[in-house]
C-alpha cells in the first residue's frame, strides 16, 4: 500500500523517483506495511526558510497521518541532509523505517527509534568526470596525488576507468552513484560508508585506499595491476553492473521491495542480535568477552551481523571502541584474523 496526498514535489527529487518506481510495481497487499510517499526535502527546506508552502505541506502530512495509524510498519524515503533533526516528526506520523541518502553512519541519532536504511542518491553529478583535475580544485595534497595517479594510469594505458570520489567536498561520496552508473570504478579512501546492499559486493566494486598509509607509487602499481589483469578488472566491472541493476534509476527501490515482501517484522528480526549484544555491553562485561560473542557471530553470519550492527549506532560505536583497544583474547584474535580479510571496516 502506498499512502500519498501530493500536490507538489519541489526539490524532493529522490523522494519523487522512489514513489514513481513503487507506483509502477504491483505490490503485495499487506495489512501491516505501507509506504509513505512525501516530499520531505521540500517540507524541511520550507520550514528552514519560512516559505509559504510549508502550511500546505503540513496539512497534507496531517491528512496522511490519519492513514498511517492503520499500519504497524511505515517506510519512507528522505534525501534531506538534516533528516535526523526531524526524527520526532517522522515518529509522530508513524514512520518506522527511514530510507535516507548521503548520511555518515556516525551522525545517526543513537536514540532514534526508527530503523534507518541507506538509499541510492541519483543526483546530477555537477562536475564532469574528465574535469576532476588537481590544478582546478582547491583540495588537500593527498587528494591531488590520487588524481595525479589516476591521470597517469589513464594516460599510460589509454583508458578511462577509475574516478576518485569521497576525498573532499569537491569530490563528494554522493558522486559514487553517478560514477558507477557510467561504469567507472570509484577510488575512495577507506572509511565508514552507509551504502545499501551487500558490503561484500561494494568491496568488490570499489577500490579503497588506506589514507593513513598512502604512497603514490603503491597506488599506481595497484591500479596498474587491475588494468592489466582481465580477471580482476572484469570482477570489478561485474560487481558494478550488479549494483547498477539493483540500485540504478531503472529499479532503485530494491531494498524497499524487501521491506514489503519480508514475512516477518524487519525491526524485530534485526533487533535479535543487537539487543543480545547490547545487553553484554550494558552489563559491563570485559571487552574481550563482548568481542568473542560479536566476532563469533560475525564469523558464522558475516553479512547479517555486519548490516545489523551498522544500523545500531550505540552498538556500532561500542564495538568500534573495543576494536581500537586491540585487547583481544587468543580466541578472539584468531576469529578477528579470519574476519578482517573479508572487509570489516567499522574500525
Task: State the Cα–Cα distance between residues 75 and 96, nearest whole angstrom.
Answer: 6
Answer yes or no: are the C-beta atoms of 180 and 186 closer than 8 Å: yes
Cell 595525479 locates to 148
End-to-end CA distance of the chain: 39
pLDDT number for residue 271: 55
Q: Report, in angstroms and rounded to the nearest whole number, the Rg of the chain calculated over CA atoms.
A: 22
Q: Please give the Cα distance from 175 to 7 (Å, whole number).
A: 30
pLDDT of 131 higher than 50: no
For residue 113, the cross-strand partners are: none
Residue 78 in contact with residue 15, Cβ under 8 Å?
yes
Share of the chain above pLDDT 90, in %: 31
| Higher-confidence position of 327 and 18 | 18
Q: Among the listed ranges 58-72, 214-228, 285-299, which one has the minimum average pLDDT value?
A: 285-299
In this predicted structure, the answer to whether residue 241 has a pLDDT above a threshold of 80 is: yes
| One-character DSSP codes across 69-81 | TT-SEEEEEE--T
Contact 150, 187 (CB under 8 A): yes
In the structure, what pLDDT confidence band is assigned to residue 335 with cuts at 50, 70 and 90?
confident
State the DSSP H helix or E strand holding residue 274, giving kind and residue range, or none if neither: helix 266-282
The residue behind cell 575512495 is 188
What is the full DSSP assignment across 27-48? PPP-SSEEEE---HHHHHHHHH
10: left (phi over 0), alpha (psi -120 to 50) or beta: left
Given a cut of 60, whether residue 129 has pLDDT beyond it is no
How many Cα atoms are found within 13 Å in the side-chain-facing hemisphere of 344? 24
For residue 334 the three cell numbers come to: 584468531
Most confident range (mean pLDDT) of 19-23, 25-29, 182-186 is 182-186
For range 236-249, the mean pLDDT: 90
What are the CA-CA distances from residue 14 to residues 20, 33, 88, 98, 121 (Å)? Answer: 10, 21, 21, 13, 7
- Report which DSSP code applies to 212: G
d(C-alpha 347, C-alpha 341), whole Å: 13
Question: pLDDT tens, 134-174?
Answer: 444 445 678 889 999 999 999 999 889 999 988 877 778 88
Q: How far is CA 152 from CA 146, 214, 323, in A?
A: 10, 17, 37
In whole angstroms, give the CA distance from residue 39 to residue 37.
Answer: 7
CA quadruple 117, 124, 58, 26: dihedral positive or negative? negative
Q: Are 298 and 305 in contact (CB under 8 A)?
A: yes
> Is pLDDT of 232 > 90?
yes
Backbone phi, psi, residue 214, to 5°: -80, 130
Which residue, among 53, 56, 57, 38, has the nearest Cα to 99 in the 3D structure?
38
Sheet order of strands, 185-189 included: 162-164, 185-189, 207-209
Closest alpha carbon to 76 in 60, 93, 57: 93
Return the pLDDT at 295.
Answer: 79
Amino acid at each position: 500500500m502506498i499512502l500519498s496526498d501530493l500536490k507538489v514535489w519541489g526539490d524532493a527529487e529522490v523522494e519523487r523517483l522512489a514513489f514513481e518506481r513503487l507506483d509502477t510495481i504491483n505490490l503485495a497487499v499487506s495489512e501491516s506495511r505501507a509506504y509513505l510517499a512525501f516530499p520531505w526535502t521540500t517540507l524541511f527546506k520550507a520550514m528552514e526558510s519560512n516559505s509559504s508552502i510549508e502550511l500546505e505541506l503540513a496539512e497534507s502530512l496531517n491528512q496522511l497521518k490519519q492513514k498511517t495509524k492503520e499500519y504497524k510498519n511505515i517506510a519512507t524515503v528522505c534525501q534531506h541532509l538534516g533528516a535526523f533533526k526531524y526524527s520526532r516528526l517522522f515518529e509522530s506520523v508513524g514512520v518506522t523505517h527511514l530510507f535516507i541518502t548521503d548520511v555518515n553512519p556516525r551522525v545517526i541519532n543513537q536514540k532514534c527509534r526508527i530503523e534507518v536504511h541507506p538509499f541510492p542518491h541519483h543526483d546530477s553529478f555537477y562536475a564532469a568526470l574528465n574535469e576532476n583535475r588537481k590544478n582546478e580544485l582547491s583540495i588537500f595534497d593527498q587528494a591531488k596525488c590520487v588524481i595525479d595517479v589516476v591521470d597517469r594510469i589513464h594516460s599510460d594505458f589509454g583508458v578511462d576507468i577509475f574516478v576518485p570520489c569521497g576525498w573532499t567536498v569537491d569530490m563528494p561520496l554522493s558522486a559514487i552513484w553517478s560514477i558507477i552508473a557510467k561504469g567507472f570504478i570509484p577510488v575512495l579512501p577507506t572509511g565508514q560508508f552507509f551504502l545499501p546492499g551487500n558490503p561484500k559486493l561494494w568491496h568488490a566494486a570499489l577500490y579503497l585506499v588506506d589514507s593513513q598509509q598512502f604512497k603514490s607509487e603503491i597506488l599506481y602499481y595497484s591500479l596498474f595491476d587491475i588494468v592489466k589483469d582481465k580477471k580482476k578488472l572484469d570482477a570489478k566491472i561485474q560487481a558494478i553492473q550488479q549494483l547498477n541493476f539493483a540500485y540504478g534509476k531503472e529499479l532503485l527501490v530494491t531494498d524497499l521491495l524487501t521491506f514489503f515482501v519480508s514475512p516477518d517484522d524487519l525491526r524485530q528480526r534485526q533487533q535479535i542480535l543487537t539487543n543480545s549484544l547490547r545487553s553484554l555491553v550494558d552489563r559491563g562485561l570485559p571487552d574481550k568477552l563482548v568481542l568473542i560473542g560479536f566476532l563469533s557471530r560475525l564469523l558464522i553470519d558475516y553479512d547479517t551481523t555486519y548490516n545489523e550492527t551498522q544500523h545500531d549506532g550505540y552498538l556500532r560505536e561500542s564495538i568500534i571502541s573495543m576494536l581500537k583497544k586491540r585487547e583481544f583474547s587468543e580466541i578472539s584474535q584468531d576469529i578477528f584474523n579470519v574476519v578482517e580479510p573479508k572487509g570489516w571496516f567499522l574500525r
